Amino acid sequence: MNILNKGESVMVNCLTVLIPTHACKRETCGPYARADQKNASAPSTRLIETVISNIKSNITEIPLKFIISLDHKTDVELSTQYLANLKLLEEKCDDIKVTSVDSRYTDNIMPYYTATNNIKHLIDLCPTEYFLFWEHDWIFVKDIDNAILKLWERDDLDLLRLNYQNPTDLGVSVWLENDTWRTNSFSNNPFVTSKTAWYDKFLPWVEEIYLQNYPNSEQDLGGWVETPLSNKLIQLYTEDLEAFRKEYRIGLYITDLEDLPIAHLNGQLWR
């Protein structure tokens, strides 16, 4: 695998699709505490293959690479079998690379910690300046204007979220600026951004909120980086609206308020 250090990305006018996945997880706090959760289709790679095929059929004007990273539990046979099948998929497909972040299920490490490390690992491995972050159970459900995804051809956005909800239902601030819906919140749902924007503007908050506080924090921080990072951005927006709008330019891919581009398959149920 081509592993590049921060700032060494070599391609601009293409996207690497970064797909985090898991076979099993167990929350240690919050509403799902101590509940075993599983990727219903694992150890099969049917879900991942369905998602990749869907992305390829909708993003046709931009060269794509794919990196799949497993939040791997080394002491769970289901996870081991899933990783082996992902490796077989990698062998069959020149445009797919597979990696993992390893931990032991029996150590009861909070999933938000291992999942956050998985995100960081994926982005560190990304060989292109721009990437499409895509959790393993989302699909496009309408034709996509590929030009809108080409952030390297525009200078007004740092991050573009592909939204599955009407922005007026998000419960956060949204506004229309230069024909693009903007927001003050972050989401783990699919988004496009650059490594430069991620490292300079978003990762520092992730490290401060999550990785410095673990394992002492037992508050319900939400899934992965989503809730605390979004809350931090909302705080910055509230403190200085104009400064936020200049520094954190987060857009929403919405061409029709009633016809949204993506849908969630729910990997815990999809087979």
Query: Taking the domains of the chain in order of start, what are their residue ranges?
Result: 15-264
Q: What is the tens place of the pLDDT at every residue in 162-217?
A: 988 877 776 678 888 888 889 998 888 999 999 999 999 998 887 777 656 554 44
Q: Which pLDDT score, from 0 to 100, does residue 117 have?
A: 86
pLDDT band at 4 (very low <50, low <70, confident <90, very high): very low
CATH placement of domain 15-264: 3.90.550
pLDDT band at 30; cut points 50, 70, 90: low
Per-residue pLDDT tens for 41-52? 999 999 999 999
Question: What local confidence, expressed as pLDDT, does residue 43 receive?
Answer: 97
DSSP string covering 104-171: -GGGT--HHHHHHHHHHHHHHH--BSEEEE--TTEEE-S---HHHH-GGG-SS-SEEEE-SS-GGGSS
β-pairing verdict for 64-73 and 15-21: parallel
